[in-house]
C-alpha cells in the first residue's frame, strides 16, 4: 500500500496534479518529491489525482514523485499536546524551529507530539476486564491542571489479556493488549484520528450550562453555552481577537484550543509570552497548563490553513472524550473560507457567491456541528464549544461567510466599527447581537446566580432599546427639549454603556468579573434607575436627580469595587437610597413651604 507512487504533471501554487494515481484514495495523505512535502489527495479522476500541498511548492518539478501513506490526514492524539503550539497539521513549531531555525522551511516531514517522551503512567484496568470503545484504561498527569485519560480508541473493544504495571513509559510502549475473538489490539499512550471525521459520542445532550467568560456583555446579555456555538464578526480592529483572547484567558472551560487561522504571527507570540504568566482564577496555576495553540499565520501555506480548524476541533473532541469541557477559538474562520476559495479557484471549480465554492455553507455547518454538549463513549458529560471570529470584507455583514455562519451558530456577537472608533470596548453591538441560549440557560442562572438575573437583563436591554429610539429624535432636536423622564432614560443608558457594557481588558480588576459581581452591579444600576424615576415622577428636575457624584460612583464601581467585594455594594446602595431620601425630603419641604 505504502509504495504506490504518482508522477507530478501540473503545478500551480499549493495545488498539484499527478498521473498514475489510480491506486490512491480520496483524502489520502501523501508526501511529495524527495523533500517529503505533506499533501492530501482532494480529487481523483481516472489516473489523475489532484493534491493540495501543505507546504511551499517553490522548486517542485514536473516528473517528481508523489508517495502514498495509505491513511487519511490524521493526528496523533496523546500526552504532550497541552501547552504546545502546532502548525495547521499538528507539527510542533518548536520542532520546526529546531529543524529550520527562525524561518519556517519546507520538507520538515511528518512530525507530531514527541513519542519518545517518558510519562509517569497509571494503568487502571486488570487482566480479564472487558473494555469497550472510549473506556479509560489509564492516565497520565499531563500538566498540573489536566489529567490525561488514556482511552480505548473508537471502534475497538475486547478483554484485557496484558497490561503493564504503573510506571514510566514512552509513548510507543504497548500498555494494554485487548483480545476479541481471535483478533487482538495493542493500546499505546496515543491514538490516531483523521481530522475530517468527527469523533464518535454516545449521545447529544441538551444545552444546560453557560460558558462563563467573565465578560459582562457576554455573560449577562448574550451568554454562550458549554457545547454551544458562537460567531464574532467584525471589521478590522473592532476587537475579535481581543474578545477571543479574553475568553481563552478567563472562561471556565477546562481546556482551550486556540486556532490562529490566517492571522498575525505576533498574536500567537503574544499568547506564548502572556499565558504562562497569567494565573487561572480557579486553580491558581498558569493558564498555559490548559491551553493548546494551533498556528497557521497569514503568511504560512494556505492549504494548511484549510486544515488547521479541523486539527483544532479534532484535538478538542479528543479531550472532550475524556470528560472535559473544551472551548475552541477559531480566529478567523474567514481566512479558512478564503483558503477554501483559493484552492477551489485553482481547481477551476464553478464559483458560487463572491467566488466562494458552492460547498461553503455545508463545510461551515459540518464544522460548527462538531460542537455539542454530550455524553461521551465512557458516559461522562462533556462538551466542545466553538467560537469563531468572522472577518467580513469591508466590515459588511451581508457577505457570504458572515451570512452562512449566522445560519449555523446560536450566539452572534456583532462587533461595531462605530463603537470601536469611540473606544467603547468590547465593541459588541447590544442591539444586533443575540444569544439563542437564553431559554436553555434561564434555569441555570436562576439556580446559580439569582432569581431575577435574567429579569434585570431584560430591563437593561429595554432601556438600551428605548435609548436608541430616543437618540433618533435627539439627532434632530437635541437633548434639552426632551421631557425629564426621557432624559433619564438617556442618562441611565449611559450608565449601562459606560459602567457596565464597557469592560477594559487591560484593567487588572475589570478584565474578568465573576457572575455574582455582575449581578450586584446590575442591581445597583436598577436601584439608581428606580430611585431616579421615582424622583422625576415627583416632579424633581433631572438636573437635581442626576447627582454627578452618585452617578459617577455607579459608573466607576467596576473599578472601585473589587471582585472579592464584601459590603461595598450594600454601602453603595445605601448611599443611593439616602441620597434620594434626602432629595425627596428637601423637595417635600420646599413644596410644603410653597
Partner 1 sequence: MLMKGDNMIKEYTQLDKIEGPLIILSGVENVSYDEIVEIRTKSGVKHGKVVQLYKDKAIVQVFEPTSGLSVKDVSVKFTGNPLTISLSKDILGRVFNGIGEPIDGGGNVFGGVKRDVNGRPMNPVAREYPRNFIQTGISAIDCLTTLIRGQKLPVFSGNGLPHNELAAQIVKQAKISDEENGEFAIVFAAMGLKHDDAQFFLKSFEESGVLQRVVMFLNLADDPVVERIITPRCALTAAEYLAFEENMHILVIMTDMTSYCEALREISSAKEEVPGRKGYPGYLYSDLASLYERAGMMKTSKGSITQIPILTMPNDDITNPIPDLTGYITEGQIVLSRDIYQRNVYPPINILPSLSRLAKDGIGEGYTREDHPGLANQIFAAYSKVQEVKALSQVIGEDELSDIDKKYLQFGKAFEYEFLNQSFDENRSMEETLDLGWKVLSILPESELDRIDSKLIEKYYRRG
H or E stretch covering 530: helix 515-537
Site pattern 410..429 for ligand ATP (x: CB under 6 A): ---------------xx---
Closest separation in Å from C-beta 195 to ligand ATP: 25
Nearest to 420 by CA among 235, 166, 164, 247: 235
Residue 187 or 401: which CB sits closer to ligand ATP?
A: 401
Of the candidate spans 105-113, 234-242, 316-324, 398-406, the one that interacts with ligand ATP by CB under 6 A turns out to be 234-242
Of the candidate spans 98-106, 192-200, 517-525, 527-535, the one that interacts with partner 1 by CB under 8 A turns out to be 98-106
Asked whether position 504 contacts ligand ATP by CB under 6 A, the answer is yes
The answer for residues whose C-beta is within 8 angstroms of residue 301's C-beta and 6 or more apart is 14, 53, 54, 55, 56, 88
For the chain, the maximum distance between any two Cα atoms, rounded to a whole number of angstroms, is: 103
Site pattern 273..292 for partner 1 (x: CB under 8 A): x-------------------
Closest separation in Å from C-beta 510 to ligand ATP: 9
Q: How many residues bind Mg ion (CB under 5 A)?
A: 2
Closest separation in Å from C-beta 318 to Mg ion: 27
Q: Nearest 5°: CA angle at 331, between 327 and 332? A: 135
Q: Which of 39, 153, 227, 234 binds ligand ATP (CB under 6 A)?
A: 234
Q: Give the span between the Cα atoms of 581 and 575, in whole angstroms.
A: 10
The answer for residues whose C-beta is within 8 angstroms of residue 282's C-beta and 6 or more apart is 252
Of the candidate spans 27-35, 39-47, 137-145, 499-507, the one that interacts with ligand ATP by CB under 6 A turns out to be 499-507
Of the candidate spans 117-125, 203-211, 360-368, 388-396, the one that interacts with partner 1 by CB under 8 A turns out to be 388-396
Nearest to 28 by CA among 39, 36, 19: 39
Q: Which of 113, 123, 176, 242 binds ligand ATP (CB under 6 A)?
A: 242
Q: Give the span between the Cα atoms of 20 and 12, in whole angstroms.
A: 19
Q: Which of 105, 109, 144, 562 binds partner 1 (CB under 8 A)?
A: 105
Nearest to 218 by CA among 236, 205, 231, 204: 231
Asked whether position 335 contacts ligand ATP by CB under 6 A, the answer is no
Site pattern 341..360 for partner 1 (x: CB under 8 A): xx--x-----x--xx-----
Q: Give the span between the Cα atoms of 528 and 552, in whole angstroms.
A: 12
Of the candidate spans 436-444, 497-505, 546-554, 572-580, the one that interacts with ligand ATP by CB under 6 A turns out to be 497-505
Asked whether position 470 contacts partner 1 by CB under 8 A, the answer is no
Residue 106 or 267: which CB sits closer to ligand ATP?
A: 267
Q: State the cell numbers at 555.
A: 459608573
Of the candidate spans 164-172, 217-225, 503-511, 521-529, the one that interacts with ligand ATP by CB under 6 A turns out to be 503-511
Asked whether position 241 contacts Mg ion by CB under 5 A, the answer is yes
- Angle separating helix axes 515-537 and 568-593, nearest 10 degrees: 0
Give the footprint of partner 1 on residues 167-196 (CB under 8 A): none
Residue 317 or 416: which CB sits closer to ligand ATP?
A: 416
Closest separation in Å from C-beta 500 to ligand ATP: 13
Query: Distances from the Cα of 304 to the Cαs of 87, 187, 297, 300, 340, in angstroms?
Result: 8, 30, 10, 8, 10
Of the candidate spans 209-217, 297-305, 432-440, 530-538, the one that interacts with partner 1 by CB under 8 A turns out to be 297-305
Asked whether position 191 contacts ligand ATP by CB under 6 A, the answer is no
Q: Which of 2, 181, 206, 548 binds partner 1 (CB under 8 A)?
A: 548
Q: Give the span between the Cα atoms of 582 and 222, in whole angstroms.
A: 38
Asked if residues 520 and 565 have their Cβ atoms less than 8 Å apart, the reply is yes
Nearest to 503 by CA among 412, 427, 413, 562: 427
Asked whether position 198 contacts partner 1 by CB under 8 A, the answer is no
DSSP state, 511? T
Asked whether position 410 contacts Mg ion by CB under 5 A, the answer is no
φ, ψ (nearest 5 deg) of residue 327: -115, 130
Closest separation in Å from C-beta 11 to partner 1: 4
Q: Which of 470, 505, 527, 584 binds ligand ATP (CB under 6 A)?
A: 505
Residue 58 or 567: which CB sits closer to partner 1?
A: 58
Closest separation in Å from C-beta 299 to partner 1: 4
Q: Give the span between the Cα atoms of 430 and 457, in whole angstroms.
A: 12
Residue 234 binds what, of ligand ATP, partner 1, Mg ion, none (CB under 5 to 8 Å, by partner type)?
ligand ATP
**What own/partner pairs with CB < 8 Å and gap ≥ 24 does 273-278 have?**
275/248, 275/249, 278/249
Q: Give the span between the Cα atoms of 250 and 391, in whole angstroms.
A: 23
Residue 41 or 85: which CB sits closer to partner 1?
A: 85
Asked if residues 122 and 143 have their Cβ atoms less than 8 Å apart, the reply is no
Q: How many residues bind partner 1 (CB under 8 A)?
A: 74
Of the candidate spans 117-125, 161-169, 235-243, 272-280, the one that interacts with ligand ATP by CB under 6 A turns out to be 235-243
Closest separation in Å from C-beta 316 to partner 1: 20
With CB atoms as reference, the residue minimizing the distance to Mg ion is: 241
**Secondary structure of residue 497 in the 3-state scheme:** helix
Secondary structure (H, E, C), 302-348:
HHHHHHHHHHHHHHHHHHHHCCCEEEEEEECHHHHHHHHHHHHHHCC
Asked whether position 243 contacts Mg ion by CB under 5 A, the answer is no
Residue 300 binds what, of Mg ion, ligand ATP, partner 1, none (CB under 5 to 8 Å, by partner type)?
partner 1
The gap between the terminal CA atoms of the chain, to the nearest Å, is: 101
Q: Give the span between the Cα atoms of 18 and 51, in whole angstroms.
A: 8
Give the footprint of ligand ATP on residues 370-399 (CB under 6 A): 391
Asked if residues 26 and 194 have their Cβ atoms less than 8 Å apart, the reply is no
Binding site for ligand ATP (CB under 6 A): 234, 236-242, 263, 391, 425-426, 503-506
> By the criterion CB under 5 A, which residues form the site for Mg ion?
240-241
Amino acid at each position: 500500500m505504502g509504495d504506490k507512487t504518482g508522477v507530478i504533471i501540473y503545478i500551480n501554487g499549493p495545488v498539484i496534479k499527478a498521473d498514475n494515481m489510480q491506486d490512491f484514495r480520496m483524502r489520502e495523505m501523501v508526501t511529495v518529491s524527495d523533500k517529503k512535502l505533506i499533501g492530501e489527495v482532494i480529487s481523483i479522476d481516472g489516473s489523475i489525482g489532484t493534491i493540495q500541498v501543505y507546504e511551499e511548492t517553490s522548486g517542485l518539478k514536473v516528473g517528481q514523485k508523489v508517495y502514498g501513506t495509505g491513511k487519511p490526514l490524521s493526528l496523533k492524539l496523546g500526552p504532550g499536546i497541552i501547552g504546545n503550539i502546532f502548525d495547521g497539521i499538528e507539527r510542533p513549531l518548536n520542532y520546526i524551529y529546531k529543524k529550520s531555525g527562525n524561518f519556517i522551511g519546507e520538507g520538515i516531514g511528518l512530525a507530531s507530539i514527541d513519542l519518545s517522551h517518558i510519562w509517569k503512567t497509571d494503568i487502571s484496568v486488570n487482566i480479564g476486564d472487558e473494555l469497550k470503545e472510549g473506556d479509560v484504561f489509564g492516565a497520565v498527569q499531563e500538566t498540573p491542571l489536566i489529567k490525561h485519560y488514556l482511552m480505548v480508541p473508537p471502534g475497538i473493544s475486547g478483554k484485557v489479556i496484558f497490561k503493564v504495571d504503573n510506571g514510566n513509559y514512552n509513548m510507543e510502549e504497548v500498555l494494554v493488549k485487548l483480545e476479541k475473538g481471535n483478533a487482538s489490539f495493542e493500546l499505546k499512550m496515543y491514538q490516531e484520528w483523521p481530522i475530517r471525521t468527527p469523533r464518535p459520542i454516545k449521545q447529544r445532550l441538551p444545552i444546560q450550562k453557560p460558558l462563563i467568560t467573565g465578560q459582562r456583555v457576554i455573560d449577562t446579555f448574550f451568554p454562550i453555552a458549554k457545547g454551544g456555538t458562537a460567531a464574532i464578526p467584525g471589521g478590522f480592529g473592532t476587537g475579535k481577537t481581543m474578545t477571543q483572547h479574553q475568553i481563552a484567558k478567563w472562561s471556565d472551560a477546562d481546556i482551550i484550543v486556540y486556532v490562529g487561522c490566517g492571522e498575525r504571527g505576533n498574536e500567537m507570540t503574544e499568547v506564548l509570552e502572556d499565558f504562562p504568566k497569567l494565573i487561572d482564577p480557579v486553580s491558581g496555576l498558569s493558564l498555559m497548563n490548559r491551553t493548546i495553540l494551533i498556528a497557521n499565520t497569514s503568511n504560512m501555506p494556505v492549504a494548511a490553513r484549510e486544515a488547521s480548524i479541523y486539527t483544532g476541533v479534532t484535538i478538542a473532541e479528543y479531550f472532550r472524550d475524556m470528560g472535559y469541557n473544551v472551548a475552541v477559538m477559531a480566529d478567523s474562520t474567514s481566512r479558512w473560507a478564503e483558503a477554501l476559495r483559493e484552492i477551489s479557484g485553482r481547481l477551476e471549480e464553478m464559483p458560487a457567491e463572491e467566488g466562494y465554492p458552492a460547498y461553503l455553507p455545508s463545510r461551515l455547518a459540518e464544522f460548527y456541528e462538531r460542537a455539542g454538549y454530550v455524553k461521551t463513549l465512557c458516559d461522562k458529560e462533556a462538551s466542545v464549544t466553538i467560537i469563531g471570529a468572522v472577518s467580513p470584507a469591508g466590515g459588511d455583514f451581508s457577505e457570504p461567510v458572515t451570512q452562512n455562519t449566522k445560519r449555523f451558530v446560536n450566539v452572534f456577537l456583532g462587533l461595531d466599527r462605530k463603537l470601536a472608533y469611540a473606544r467603547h470596548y468590547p465593541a459588541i453591538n447590544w442591539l444586533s447581537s443575540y444569544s439563542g441560549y437564553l431559554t436553555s440557560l434561564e434555569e441555570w442562572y436562576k439556580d446559580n446566580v439569582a432569581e431575577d438575573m435574567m429579569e434585570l437583563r431584560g430591563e437593561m436591554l429595554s432601556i438600551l432599546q428605548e435609548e436608541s429610539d430616543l437618540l433618533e429624535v435627539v439627532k434632530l432636536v437635541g437633548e434639552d427639549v426632551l421631557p425629564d423622564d426621557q432624559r433619564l432614560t438617556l442618562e441611565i443608558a449611559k450608565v449601562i454603556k459606560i459602567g457596565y457594557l464597557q469592560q477594559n481588558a487591560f484593567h487588572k480588576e475589570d478584565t474578568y468579573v465573576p457572575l455574582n459581581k455582575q449581578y450586584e452591579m446590575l442591581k445597583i444600576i436598577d436601584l439608581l434607575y428606580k430611585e431616579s424615576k421615582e424622583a422625576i415622577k415627583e416632579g424633581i428636575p433631572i438636573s437635581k436627580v442626576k447627582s454627578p457624584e452618585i452617578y459617577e460612583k455607579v459608573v466607576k464601581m467596576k473599578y472601585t469595587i473589587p471582585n472579592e467585594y464584601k459590603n461595598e455594594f450594600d454601602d453603595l446602595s445605601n448611599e443611593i437610597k439616602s441620597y434620594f431620601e434626602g432629595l425627596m425630603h428637601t423637595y417635600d419641604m420646599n413644596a410644603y413651604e410653597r
